Each structure stands twice: as C-alpha cells, then as structure tokens.
Amino acid sequence: MQGVSLVYLEAGEEIERIAAAQSGDRQAYLALVRQYARPLYRLAYAMCGDADAADLLARDALICGWGELREIPESLRFFPWILGIMRRIHETPSAVATSPKATETRPIAAIDAHGAELSPTNGGAQTEPSPTPAGEGTPGDARLRARTLASFAELRPDQRMTLSLRILEELPYEQMAALLDLSLGVATLRLSQARGHILSRATGLGGDA
C-alpha cells in the first residue's frame, strides 16, 4: 500500500475552514483541497483506471466543489461531500469513456490459487497440482492479475467505489458506510458482491461455491 490512508481534519478546524470558504475565502478552501486531494485522486484513479482521467476527474470535482460549497449540509464532512460530487461527475455517461475497459467478458477457464489453469473438462478439478506457488512475474500470476483488473473494471461504480475505499483507504466498514451514505449492511453486501464478482470472473471458480 502506497501513500497514507484518508486522514480527516480535526472536526472543529474543518468546520471553520468550510465556513470561511463559504464566505469566499479561497485559501480556506485550498487548505481543504490540500488535505483531501490525495485520497480523492486515489479514488478517482481507482474509478477511472487512468492517471490522466483521474487527474481531470479530481480537478473537476474540486472546482465544482467550490461552486457548490454553499450547499454542503452542516452534518456532512468535507470529504464525503466532495467524494459525492466526484462520483456524480463520474457516473454521468462520460464514465463509460473514462472507465477502465473490460478487456475480457467471455467465459474464462478456472485458475487455482496460484494462477495455474484448471481443466475445463473435469468440472474444475485441478488436473495437476501447482508444484509451487507462482511467484511474481510468472505466467499464472500475470494471468490472474490481468483477469482481476478486467473484472474490477466490470464492477458497477458503487461496487468499485466500495471496494476501493476498503482496499486503498483501509476504512472500517462503519466509516465506509458513512462515507457512502449507506447502511452498514448494504455497504458490507456491496463489498462482498464486488469481491464475489472478481473472484468469479478472475478465477472462474464462482463467487459462492
């Protein structure tokens, strides 16, 4: 994991900066930008799969945020709010253009935990066990990696966002749910749906055995 996970500003300080920014203080807004640009960009990258598109998306969101700052609900922290704006921008139809392309949608052969292909003729039973775990750079590893990224790109935006928050920001379920304005149960379900989809698509083993 690179970088630092999401760190919130102290609540009182954030409220002060938001209030100052709402009254036209650009420096206060830029302080908020400075605090949250990194996680915002990381999530934009996870959503877009492309550094340039993520750059544009994050900038758009932050610039839009300035224009809509007066509308921020009092009960909401800045990051969930700006994340909502970014998701709104991304989930317009342009998202299709900037989303990572699903490179493989046809049924794929199952692979084992080390990336080795399982025989399609025997119901997925392993034809011969992988002698050793595949290390970095082996064909099995590369295959699993490619399939994982392709299946990640196939996720719905809400699933992708949930999984990204968990993986990139390592947020507890409760914070993740709060950030996405979901109940804990729904957030947990989306996360497991996302993982199930990737497990199914990337390995061919099926999400639920």
Backbone angles phi, psi at 111, to 5 degrees: -130, 155
Closest CA to 36 of 84, 74, 88, 70: 84
Nearer to other proteins, 112 or 154 (CB): 112
Q: Does 45 bind other proteins (CB under 8 A)?
A: yes
Q: Is 79 in the site for other proteins (CB under 8 A)?
A: no
CA 146 – CA 198 distance, rounded (Å): 11
Of residues 46 and 180, the one with the C-beta less far from other proteins: 46
C-beta of residue 54 within 8 angstroms of C-beta of residue 47: yes
Q: By CB under 8 A, is residue 64 in contact with other proteins?
A: yes
Distance CA 71, CA 136 (A): 48
Residue 92 CB neighbour total at 10 angstroms: 9
89 touching other proteins, by CB under 8 A: yes
Shortest Å distance, C-beta 37 to other proteins: 5
Q: Which residue of 51, 139, 157, 183 would you call a contact of other proteins, by CB under 8 A?
A: 51
The reply to whether 76 sits near other proteins by the rule CB under 8 A is no
| Rounded least distance, CB 62 to other proteins, Å | 5
Binding site for other proteins (CB under 8 A): 1-3, 24, 26, 29-30, 33-34, 37-38, 41-42, 45-46, 51-56, 58-60, 62-64, 66-68, 88-89, 92-94, 96-98, 112-113, 144-145, 148-149, 152, 163-164, 166-168, 173, 188-189, 191-193, 195-196, 198-199, 202-203, 205, 207-209
